[in-house]
Amino acid sequence: MSNNLIGVQRDGTSPLGNDNFGMLINGSHNLVGGATPDYANTIAFNHNAGVYVQAGFTGRTPVGNRITSNSIFSNGDLGIDLSNDGVSSNDAGDGPNDPQNKPVLSSAKKSAGKTTIKGKVNSTPNRKYMLQFFSNPKGTDEGKKLLFSRSVTTDSSGNLSFTFATKKRVSLGQNITATATSSTTGDTSEFSAPRKVLAP
């Protein structure tokens, strides 16, 4: 699904609200958004998670759900929630979307009109992933504005360290978050923990 407004009015910014999840997924191989912002959904102001991938509803664990390029913000719970059990840990285990590990951001620094983001990913060895980076208002931790996407490949141990920069407008004090989506399976992670944009 793409180009929908969920929990917001037609202007894309004013609350409409929703007493539950913005979107609940209990099946496999769904697409929410797309490869670019042209396909983005706006998912905001919902009482619970913006997007909840539910385990066990059909007796099968849902996998392969791509949640990419959307604008997700101001929800009462996580922006993307795998299992509705709070923030999922980055480790191997059963669960919705396998569960795909999220990136870990170590720094976000702005200098001379450029914001440089550093971090790492640990996941399946020798596999391609699409990382997406988002800017958020100060103190928030979802994914309001997509900044850019990058394709990366993990090494033989499943690790990848990255440094990426953008000249898109990002203010000091804003928060950067990121997701990882497996190019092989389509599984998308929850949002990473936020990293505040600081001066060097």
In tens, the pLDDT along 72-107 reads 999 999 999 997 777 888 876 667 888 899 999 999
CB-neighbour burial class of residue 11 (10 A; exposed 0-12, middle 13-18, buried 19+): exposed
What gap in Å lies between CA 105 and CA 175, rounded to an integer?
11
Domain boundaries, the chain: 1-86, 98-200
Write down the architecture of domain 98-200 according to CATH: Sandwich (2.60)
pLDDT in tens, 31-79: 999 988 999 999 999 999 999 999 866 667 899 999 999 999 999 999 9
Instruction: Write down the pTM of the prediction.
Output: 0.94
Which residues share a beta bridge with 68?
Answer: 33
